[in-house]
Structure 1
Amino acid sequence: MSEHSQEQKNAARPRVNSPEPFAARPRPSVPAHVIRDDAEAIATARRLAVEFAREASQRDREGWLPIEEVDAYSQSGLWGITVPRAYGGADVSYATVAEVIRLIAAADSSIAQITQNHLALVAHITLDASEAQKQELFGLVLHGYRFGNAFSEKDSRNVAAFETRLVEDGNDVVVNGKKFYTTGALLAHLVPIVAVDAQGKGFLVFADRDAPGLTVTNDWSSFGQRITASGSVTIDNVRVAKSRVVPVDAFDRPTAAGPISQIIQAAIDAGIAQGALDETVAFLRTKSRAWIDSGKEQATEDPFTVAAIGTLALRLHASEALLERAGHHIDEALRRPGDETVTAAALATAEAKVLTTEVAIEATNRLFELAGTRSTLQEHNLDRYWRNARVHTLHDPVRWKYFHIGNYVLNGVNPPRHPWN
């Protein structure tokens, strides 16, 4: 492509923070590839990560939405890897899911986060949907359909309080409300809405992205995770067939729903840490200078720098080990659901979340300390790692992970069941 053609393409790319509603993306014209096993999933993630890394800095700097990248991502089959084998999916280990997300996040953590709610929703379909709903919705996933989300509400009293309402009307439900933090909804084909009925019972309402009355606005203005398509959704008398309404029952009994949501978040943070460490090493090898007191010629010979890199690598590897361990506990909780297995999965995932949060913040801070002042120049855009880590690790407070782990070890109290445990 010529330089002029590339400039024209870049000028036409949709950007973040537009006040205008964003039109729905076309549904897949050809079926997505179907991944068959764990090894293929990881190999595919590695290949895509190389592609996604190429323009990651430019996308962040310019605010380009990753439309082509997300299309390639879902068409690769990686969005269908947790569909059960009985419905045509690979049903991979959650240790593999964590590794896939970690690899993608190391390349571009915004793209990795766009997957998060989709995979959590696939788990909810497995746990709560009827057989007919599983047949339909899993079929759409394997075809390449993407789920966004319309869960959280910015002005409610807490994250689990919902003002969005549904009422039955013949064979449909009608939904009204306002949502925020709607990661992925902008680029989705279906937007599952969390709504409650008159009795306060929660449901997932799988609305078409282009349903009349459903408006998605790209008004996400955070300084980090800038291109996650995480704006707002307005739901104005949106009508959806009852066949697309799934009850939220997974937290009323011991299930792996919470740990599944959390392990994906932890894997994103581990990926950010990996990306930051890779950038630090590359900068030290090619651009940084040794400090004068070290008596060394190269920054890579500075003993304090060498030790700091070793410490980061150690902590990153420890977080990866905890991610893998948590994934296997989730697998066991899915095979044998019960208080014991679900609690083990929740606690193992909480431990991984703590460590991945800490190493993401540390690695993105230390990048500048070790690489030096020149690493802060705008031309490098390395602050995107810190910005992304700082914003994404706010998803839920890690201080409560310490409490739940300690309360179980000391007092035998199981962590509460909800999407943040």
Structure 2
Amino acid sequence: MPYEKISTLASRRAAIIDSDAQALEVARALAEDFAQEASQRDRERRLPLPELERYSQSGLWGITVPREHGGAGVSRVTLAEVTAIISRADGSLGQIPQNHYYALEVLRVNGTADQQRRFYARALAGERFGNALAETGTRTASERRTSLTADRQGGWRINGSKFYCTGALYAQWIPTATVGPDGIQRLAIVRRDSPGVEVIDDWSGFGQRVTGSGTVHFKDVAVPDEDVMVLADPAAAPNTIKPLAQIIHAAIDLGIGQAALQDALVFVRERSRPWIDAGVERAADDPLTISEFGRLSIRLEAARALVARAGRILDVATADGTPAHVAAAAIAVAEARVLTTEASLAAGTKLFELAGTQSTLDHLNLDRHWRNARTHTLHDPVRWKRHAVGNYYLNDIAPGRVGTT
């Protein structure tokens, strides 16, 4: 898609949200509208350009900008709730700004005062930050081959290819993970329209279909020194960058699971037939169906509570980033991710079990909830989060890596 078409979307200055309460109010209003055609967008793989325009212009993409830079500086609890609200309406729309918020957190933790001033202003104006972080063909998910080399004329040059670039297709800026000759990983914030940048819409996953999570190629792309910052320094103390990224992922899964539960409730009330042996007139009166809905509702409510708890602990680490606080936040977020993964997948599956054969009809597209949950929950292996949590409580070992971005 030509950059010119994308760039016109941020031609107006976005609204400024100034409180947590306002952020939640705006999110609920947008979600009501986004839900209306979510199924059609998924079925047709229709890129949500008008919806993203409304979303970023609403001011929600600037809510994590600190108050001293003109933003609302909302709590991590509110950020997660906003994400869940939008994801409940449309899982893809909920995921698209995840790396935007991630980039703003890297900026808060590692950016210079000048970088913060310039890029926070861009975010508040409604400009979107995508990502070019992950790569295929590397030994592990954290390995980077995309190179950052010094330019003889000053600044840097980037060469390499990225995949899973959620949001890059829709962005004005592409934060790009690179590795320099010294082995240090740096984040270069690259203009989408820079010569040598090629964004390809080739995401073909069976879920999260319109996230734009495709390929970005960089061929000798120039980036000024003032737009580059440290991303991962092995010698640096632990920080809140990864827990922030991970709590947003947990909230995305939570919202997808909540949407599946809601659709299951409506279908059973309005369309399903009771099982022969139940001896009732309505499927909603089947005692075994009622029990299963209770079980699923409890799991999702527990997941919601764990996400909120993780947000509160992450808020403490954000305000006071001691190693102990950061470790506690990482573990709390890992706990939330385990349960949101399990609950969202269970909701997508139980929908069909409780609603019955009619619910599998293709035109209903109810399978999108399971497809979205299954696709998104593969971001990080939950089995390693369980290990990190167990090691923390059993052996008092602070977590190492409990997730990527």
Q: Does residue 264 of structure 2 align to residue 283 of structure 1?
A: no
Does residue 92 of the first structure (1) align with residue 92 of the second (2)?
no
Distance 1:418 1:356, change over 3 A: closer
State the match for 1:178 in structure 2. 161
Distance in 2 between residues matched to 1:410 and 1:367, nearest whole Å? 36
Following the alignment from structure 2 to structure 1, what is the Cα–Cα distance between the partners of residues 77 and 156? 37
Deviation at 1:24, TM superposition (A): 5.5
Check conservation: 2:3, 2:193, Cα contact below 8 A. no
Deviations 1:121-155 (A, max 9, x none): 10010000000110000000000010000000011
Aligned-pair distance for 1:171? 2.8
2:398 match: secondary structure: coil
Paired position in structure 2 for 1:17: none
Do 1:102 and 1:267's aligned partners in 2 also have CA atoms closer than 8 Å?
A: yes
Residue equivalent to 1:25: 6
Are 1:24 and 1:210, in contact at CA under 8 Å, matched by a contact in 2? no
**Are positions 1:359 and 2:343 aligned together?**
yes
Deviation at 1:241, TM superposition (A): 1.1
In the other structure, the counterpart of 1:163 is 145
Q: Quick check: 1:35–1:90 contact (8 Å CA) kept in 2?
A: yes
Shift of 1:250: 7.0
CA deviation profile, 1:328-383 (whole Å, cap 9, x unmatched) = 11110011111110111011101100000000010000000000000000110000
Give yes or no for the alignment of 1:78 onto 2:60: yes
Contact 1:128–1:250 under 8 Å retained in 2: no
Per-residue CA shift, 1:4-36, capped at 9, x if unaligned? xxxxxxxxxxxxxxxx77766115222100100
In the other structure, the counterpart of 1:206 is 189
Q: Verify the 8 A CA contact 1:36 1:89 in the aligned structure 2.
A: yes
Determine if contact 2:334/2:402 at 8 Å carries over to the other structure: no
Q: Does 1:45 align with 2:30?
A: no
Q: Please list every run of at least 4 consecutive aligned residues from structure 1 whose deviation after the TM superposition is greater than 3 angstroms.
A: 20-24
Cα distance in 2 for residues equivalent to 1:308 and 1:414: 37
CA contact (8 A) 2:185 2:233 kept: no
Residue 249 (structure 1) shift? 4.5
State the shift of 1:419 in Å. 5.1
CA distance in structure 2 between the aligned counterparts of 1:232 and 1:418, rounded to whole angstroms: 25
Q: In 1, distance between residues paired with 2:386 and 2:34?
A: 34
Tell me which residue corresponds to 2:46.
Answer: 64
1:222 matched residue in structure 2: 205
SS in 2 for 1:176: strand
Decide which of 304, 322, 325 is 2:309's aligned counterpart. Answer: 325
8 Å contact kept, 1:172–1:242: yes
Find the aligned partners of 1:47 and 1:262 in 2 and give their Cα distance.
Answer: 25
TM-score, with length taken from structure 1: 0.93
Cα distance in 1 between the residues matched to 2:111 and 2:158:
19
- Segments of structure 2 that go 5 or more residues without pairing to the other structure are none
2:217 maps to 1:234: yes
TM-score in terms of structure 2 length: 0.97
Match of 1:178, SS state, is strand
Q: RMSD of the alignment, in Å?
A: 1.3
Shift in alpha-carbon separation, 1:398–1:387, aligned structure 2, 3 A: same
Q: Please say if residues 24 and 189 of structure 1, whose CA atoms lie closer than 8 Å, have aligned partners that are also in contact.
A: no
Instruction: State the alpha-carbon separation in 1 of the partners of residues 242 and 191 from structure 2.
Output: 25
Q: 1:109 aligns with which of 80, 91, 100?
A: 91
Q: Deviations over 1:293-347 (max 9, x none)?
A: 0000000000011011111111111111100000011110011111110111011
Summarize the Cα distance change of 1:258–1:53 in structure 2 as closer, same or farther, 3 Å threshold.
same
Matched-pair contact (CA < 8 Å) for 1:127–1:250: no
Match status 1:339 vs 2:328: no
User: How far is the alpha carbon of 1:420 from its aligned partner?
Assistant: 2.8
Counterpart secondary structure, 1:26? helix
Match in the other structure for 2:334: 350
What is the CA-CA distance between 1:240 and the residue it aligns to?
Answer: 1.0
Q: Does 1:145 align with 2:90?
A: no
